[in-house]
Chain A
Amino acid sequence: MKLKKNIATSESGFIFNPATGDSFSGNAMASSILLAMKNGEAEVTIKQNILQKYEVSPEQLDRDWDDWIVQLKEANLLETGSYDGK
């Protein structure tokens, strides 16, 4: 589950894909997860950190994580093949 290498992100939630020119804005949770993903943190670590810090059940987080990956895929921000088990 890797972000494309050249994706630029800011702490305020702004995301820019220089390859396509697309830009996005994310909420606070999105920007903190993107930062962690850019730093190469594994899915399990990111989830653990969220569970420690935030008021959310593991089941809800798992559902939202699946949705998050679909959003990144739709936005063309993931490395090809990194999201479908290839």
Chain B
Amino acid sequence: MNKLKYERPYIKKLTAGAMNKFGSLSGSQPFKFIDNVPVKSLVEAYGSPLFVISEKHIRRNYRAAYRAFSTRYPKVQFAWSYKTNYLNAVCNIFHQEGSWAEVVSGFEYQKALGNGVPGNKIIFNGPGKSKKDLLLAVENDSLIHIDHLEELGLLLPLCEGLDYQPKVAIRVNMDTGVYPLWDRFGFNYENGEAWRAILKIVNSGKLKLTGLHCHIGTYIQTTAAYGVAASKMAALAIKCNTELKQHIEYLDLGGGFPSTNTLKGAYLPGTDTMPTIDDFAEEITGTLIRAGFENDDLPLLILESGRLLIDDAGYLLGTVLANKRLSDGKLATIVDIGVNILFTSFWYDHQVSPADDYSPTVENTVIYGPLCMNIDVIRESVNLPLLKSGDHIVIHKVGAYNMTQWMQFIALRPAIVLIDEQEQVHLIKAAETLEHIETNEYIPEHLK
């Protein structure tokens, strides 16, 4: 006789009051496949936890975003933000699509060179460039975005004896009506600091000011801020043209566009509240076109979007380790995914889906990771079906920042696989081992 399907007994107190407008469970079906590859087979082959990246998603996101800008503006260039995800396989997808590289350290610069990006298609941002980094960038004819005067001071002596002028831009910070104002990076627009920096560069005669750069913040949820930024950048570029006869070839508006993750504390889900990339594109390009550039000599528009292009292309698969009741009777589910590999769980209420069949009964639970640390909380409160140990879960929209900001802490970091457009699975980073961690550790003789 076939036995009946089992579900653990569960009772729920009925409370009178307002109905829950958000429903009871996000997703009515188990999430069993990523690009038609079974979640179960991925975990069996590569272990749990496991990061999975969809090449199809990345290319789709890139093309949609590029189309949003290029159909509204004649000259558009994307530069892939390495810090968002600098796995070589991921970077190369963006480079194949036409992206330049946007790097913020010598380490990232080397990665971009290693990925075959020509030096003149590497944008070097960030406040921490060393003399050695700058020299490499000068030699490779890269676009150096100067963050502060100390950096200019480092750069100028490197230009001695050169028969060409290295190409530079300055990073400009400004009030765009959003909080916080990112004035720690670059030179301020409103107080004239940016203009003074421009004068220093132009008057040095050693550098070629080719562009202006800004990056107004992160996860910006209003398009109006980009309109303000574009307007101020355009005004500065026009001033360079008219007062200094310095032609500004490009305006780099940076990134900061949101994905559709739901920020912690948000009342409505991100999918319902975030502007689309078309909304941002309309605001930016419309402002630039109306800005009054002479003879329609519009500058190249560079964008360094990261999160928007990759967040929803990344998944994190995990396994339920245990269920337990907290002192107040609330259910706690412990999974093998910790905050050390899911850094973004501090920012977002990530969507969590069961990967196995389940019954309609749901229970509110807190999801803890496996670390012996009180802060290891993946979701404080989420309605999930009655999971049991060994069940698999899928955490959505984890493609940005997690695979660069993850920490080796208590546990080792897991493998990462890429599902290509033909739905073939490729290991693109092997799981960490003890040998990886200890390879550059040394024990003094007297402690052996």
What B residues does A30 contact at CB under 8 A? 9-11
What B residues does A70 contact at CB under 8 A? 325, 329
Q: Which of A27, A33, A55, A60 contacts B4 (CB 8 A)?
A: A55
List A residues 64-80 near B (Cβ within 8 Å).
64, 67-68, 70-72, 74-75
Bound state CA distance, A23 and B11, in angstroms? 10
A53 and B12 in contact (CB under 8 A), knowing A70-B325, A71-B329?
no
Q: Which residue of A lies closest to B322 (CB)?
A: A63
Bound state CA distance, A71 and B12, in angstroms? 9
Q: Which residue of A lies closest to B5 (CB)?
A: A55
What B residues does A71 contact at CB under 8 A? 9-11, 325, 329
A26 and B9 in contact (CB under 8 A), knowing A53-B4, A70-B325, A71-B329?
yes
Assess the B325–A64 pair: CB atoms within 8 A: no
B8, B9, B388: residue with the most chain A Cβ atoms closer than 10 Å? B9
Assess the A23–B14 pair: CB atoms within 8 A: yes
Q: Which of A53, A55, A75 contacts B13 (CB 8 A)?
A: A75
Bound state CA distance, A70 and B5, in angstroms? 23
Assess the A26–B12 pair: CB atoms within 8 A: yes
Bound state CA distance, A50 and B5, in angstroms? 11
Assess the B6–A56 pair: CB atoms within 8 A: yes
A15 and B6 in contact (CB under 8 A), knowing A67-B325, A71-B329, A74-B329?
no
Bound state CA distance, A72 and B9, in angstroms? 10
Bound state CA distance, A24 and B7, in angstroms? 18
What A residues does B361 contact at CB under 8 A? 27
What B residues does A6 contact at CB under 8 A? none
B323 at the interface (CB under 8 A from A): yes
Q: Give the size range of B's interface with the partner.
A: 20 to 34
Mark each residue of chain B from 301 to 325: 1 if its CB lies under 8 Å from any CB of chain A, else 0: 0000000000000000000000101
Bound state CA distance, A60 and B323, in angstroms? 11
B21 at the interface (CB under 8 A from A): no
A25 at the interface (CB under 8 A from B): yes
List A residues 24-56 near B (Cβ within 8 Å).
24-30, 33, 50, 53-56
List 29 A-B pairs, Cβ < 8 Å: A23-B13, A23-B14, A24-B11, A24-B13, A24-B14, A25-B12, A28-B7, A29-B7, A30-B10, A50-B6, A53-B4, A54-B3, A54-B5, A55-B3, A55-B4, A55-B5, A56-B6, A60-B388, A63-B323, A64-B8, A64-B9, A67-B325, A68-B8, A68-B9, A70-B325, A71-B10, A71-B329, A72-B11, A75-B11
- The 7 A-B pairs of least Cβ separation, nearest first, read A74-B329, A30-B9, A56-B6, A64-B8, A54-B6, A26-B11, A55-B3
Give the A-binding residues of B (Cβ under 8 A).
3-14, 323, 325, 328-329, 359, 361, 386, 388
Give the B-binding residues of A (Cβ under 8 A).
15, 22-30, 33, 50, 53-56, 60, 63-64, 67-68, 70-72, 74-75
Known: A26-B9, A53-B3. 20 other contacts (CB 8 A): A26-B11, A27-B11, A27-B386, A30-B11, A50-B6, A53-B4, A54-B3, A54-B4, A55-B5, A56-B6, A63-B323, A64-B8, A67-B323, A67-B325, A70-B325, A71-B9, A71-B325, A71-B329, A72-B11, A75-B11
